[in-house]
Structures are given as C-alpha cells and as structure tokens.
Chains A and B, each alone.
Chain A
Amino acid sequence: MMDFDISPITNSWQFLARALGVTILLSVSSILLGLVIGLAVGAARTYGGRVVDSALGLYVDSMRAIPVLAVLVWVYFAFPLLIGHSLNALLAGILGLGLHLGAYVSEVIRAGLGSVRPGQMRAALALGMSPWQAIREIILPQAVIRMLPAFGSLFVIAIKDSAIASVIAVPELLRQSQIVAGQTFRPIEIYTAAMLVYFLLCYPVARGVDAIYRRLAPLGAS
C-alpha cells in the first residue's frame, strides 16, 4: 500500500508558500477585474437600451459557452500574435480569468438590479434624483445585499479556476506543486496537500459569505 512521506512538502515549503501567494494574488486580481467588467456590463445591459443589451449579451453568452481553459490559452498564446507584443503569464492569467468571470458577475448584477421593483426608481426620479444618483443611493445598496450569496459562489469559483492558469505556466500553487511532484516523484503527498490547501482557501470563503449574508439579509428586503 502507500507509505506517506511529507518531507518533499516540508523541504520545499517556501517554494510552495510563494506559489500560494501567487494563487491568492491571481484570484483576488481576477475577482477585482471580473467585478469591474461585471458591474459595467450588468449596468449597461439593464439601463443601456436594446442595442447595447444584445451586443453585450453576445459577450456574456460567449463566455458562458467557452471553457476557461480555451480563454486562457487563447489570451496567452494567440492574443500576443494579434497585438505583436508578448504577454506575461500572470497578466494573461488575470486577463483571461477576469474576462471569463466578468460575464458571470454581470448576470448576477443584472438579476440583482432587476430584483429591485421599478417603482423605487420612479419614486427616486420623482424626488428629483438623477438616474445615476438613484442607482447609486437607492437601487444598488439593496441589490448588493441580495447579490451576496451569488457573489460568494463566484468568489469560490474564481479561486478554483485560478488553478487552471497552471496550463499557461503561471507560477501558482498547482503549477508549482506539479514541479515539486515531478522532482521528488511524490505526486500523492504533494497533490493531497495541495487539495487540502485549496479546501482551506475555498471553504471559509463560502461559509464566510453565507454568514455575512444571514446578518445582512433583512437590509436587502423591500
């Protein structure tokens, strides 16, 4: 059967800790990029009229149809040929993951904005607020709370998807684990440890967002 030897992990813990740092950096950056894209696309589709809605709908549905892996390899290998300029792997990873995540974020934003009754917008406009003021001060604060559970699952997905960036050699946790596993011939220990680390990263995020939502849920009711 198996004999479990954790020395490959303890011997290269600094190497793996740095890789964990890259995983966190990659996840957080792609979440931020995804939020910016998602907010812009979601708001534009909700308030921007039919033409804008269908044009951006094509982007959203395309991202829902194409695997993250395909987006990542395209951004890293093919896109630089188009612009004639090579792309750093980490940057390509953030771009690809953020572009993919943004489509999903935009759907959450759109559902959240749409869940606030139209009467509230009309009431705000009747009080003399500008449309942007009404969105910012009346609609968004309620919508954001209702979006929290969905954001929670998207954040977990973002952390998990960051591991796919190993395919384009971003030095994140999975990629560096592969390197250690290859050098030490100890894939079982390394991959099991990596699995535990990802679990410890994802599970608290999922539970944490749930807990925050339970406390804030009444504020989102209308």
Chain B
Amino acid sequence: MTLDWSVVWDYRWQFLQGAAMTVTLTVLTMLLAIPGGLLLAFMRMSPYRLISMPATAIVEFFRATPLILQIYWTFYVLPVALDIRMSAFTTALVGLTLNISSFNSETFRAGIQSIRKGQWNAAYALGMTKSQVARKIILPQATMRVLPALASTWVSLFKDTSLVSVIAVADLSYVSLQIRAQTYRILEVLTAMAGLYWLMGYPQAKLVDWIYRRFKVHE
C-alpha cells in the first residue's frame, strides 16, 4: 500500500475551515447552554409543579436519548412543528444547545444543592432577600463547585459537535469525509481528521484534569 500524505497539505485550508466551524459550534453552544441550563435548573427546583414538571421532563428526555437522533429530530420535526425554516447551522446549534442545556442544568442543580442549607438561613437571618442570597452567597460558591463538571461537559460537547456532520454542517468531520470522497485517500484523510481532533482535544482533556485538581472541594 502506498501512502500519499500530500493530500492533507493540499486540502489544509478546508481542514482548517472545518476545525474553525467545530470550535465556533462548541463556543456558541456553550454560551447559549449556560443560561439555558441555569433556567432549567431553577425551573426544576421551583416549588410549583406546573413549572418544575416540564423542566424535569425536558432534562430527563434529552439526557436519555442519543444526541445524533436529537439532531435528526431537530432537523426534520422542529421546522414542521413550529412552521419555521432554519439553516442546517441553526438546526445544529438548536439541537446541541437543547442537549447541553439539559446536562448543564443537572450540573447547576447539584452545585446549588451542594451548598449547605445553613448558608441560606444565615443570609436570611442577616436580612437578605431570596434573590440577594442566591446572587451574593450561593451562586459564587456554587460556581466554583460546578466548574470541573462544566469543563468535562465542554470537552464532550467539543467531541459531540462532530455529529452535526450528519445534517451537512461543514465541521471538521463533514469536511474530512467530503475530502475522503473526493480524493479516495481514505487512510490519510481519516487519520488527519483524527489527528486534528486529537491536537485540539488533548490539551482540553488535560486542562479538565487540572481544573479537577485545582477546584477539588475540601469540606
């Protein structure tokens, strides 16, 4: 078998554009899924069942079904159900955001509930209002505790953006599979694709380990 690695260099701009799309999707999704997750978490912790039930249903459903199917579903069902037209990119962003918001909401809920009840009571005793306690006492501490879990979710999200290739969003995996089809240099192109993901993902995985060590909770 003869290998011809020049194909990777020849298509370097396409590869880089794909990688840029992967990074863009990761960043945008996380930016949307942090408020989304907070909203779902607060809804789920609401004492009113009318508010908490739908949030619980959304979170449990999106966590227990495959993301790749959620992307297909967003692609085929959402435009018809809501009677709107969306580009493939928007569809991908909506699908990823719904999924990651659900995972984030559980992270936030665990983080908020990990702050001892006594802290709420103490803050109330000092005459703070409920939103003041949440904003000034609970959230700052909870933020430190959720950081490691958020970082893990970030890396999973970075990897999972590859699934948007199934609806033809030009991310790194879609671009690579296209180049493979055009050039037939299957081994070289697919190895380059895995290598590029590795180059981007490996430092992130290491960073997550560091964040875990740095922000470990000592009670």
Chain A interface residues (CB < 8 Å from chain B): 1-2, 61-62, 64-71, 73-74, 77-78, 81-82, 84, 156, 159-164, 166-167, 174, 178, 181, 187-188, 191-192, 194-195, 198-199, 202-203, 206
Contacts and interface: CB of A to CB of B under 8 A. Distances in A.
Interface of B: 1, 60-61, 64-70, 72-73, 76-77, 80-81, 83, 155, 159-163, 165-166, 173, 177, 180, 186-187, 190-191, 193-194, 197-198, 200-202, 204-206
Given A66-B197, A174-B68, A192 B77 contact: yes
- Tell me whether chain A's interface is mostly helix, strand or loop, or mixed: helix
Among B1, B159, B177, the one with the most A-chain Cβ atoms within 10 Å of its Cβ is B159
Identify the 10 closest CB pairs spanning chains A and B, nearest first: A65-B201, A163-B66, A67-B162, A187-B76, A202-B64, A67-B159, A160-B66, A78-B190, A64-B205, A69-B162
Contacts of B193: 70, 73-74
5 contacts: A1-B83, A65-B200, A70-B190, A70-B197, A164-B66
B76 A188 contact: yes
Contacts of A71: 194
Contact of B180 (A68, A77, A202): A77
Contact of B66 (A64, A188, A198): A198
B1 A84 contact: yes
Contacts, number: 121
Contact of B77 (A62, A67, A163, A188): A188
Contacts of B77: 187-188, 191-192
Contacts of A65: 155, 159, 197-198, 200-202, 204-205
Contacts of B73: 191-192, 195
Nearest to B180: A77
Given A64-B205, A188-B77, A198 B198 contact: no
Contacts of A202: 64-65
Q: Which of B72, B155, B191 has the most CB of A within 10 A?
A: B72
Contacts of B201: 64-66
A156 B80 contact: no
Given A64-B201, A65-B202, A78-B186, 19 more contacts: A1-B83, A62-B202, A66-B197, A67-B173, A68-B159, A69-B173, A70-B162, A74-B193, A74-B194, A82-B1, A82-B187, A156-B64, A160-B66, A164-B66, A188-B80, A192-B73, A195-B70, A198-B69, A199-B64
B214 to A, nearest CB: 17
Nearest to B74: A191
A44 B69 CA distance: 36
B186 A77 contact: yes
A35 to B, nearest CB: 21
Contacts of B163: 67, 69, 164
B81 A2 contact: yes
Contacts of B180: 77
A163 B198 contact: no
A133 B204 CA distance: 38
Nearest to B65: A198
B205 A78 contact: no
Most buried by A among B66, B73, B166, B201: B66
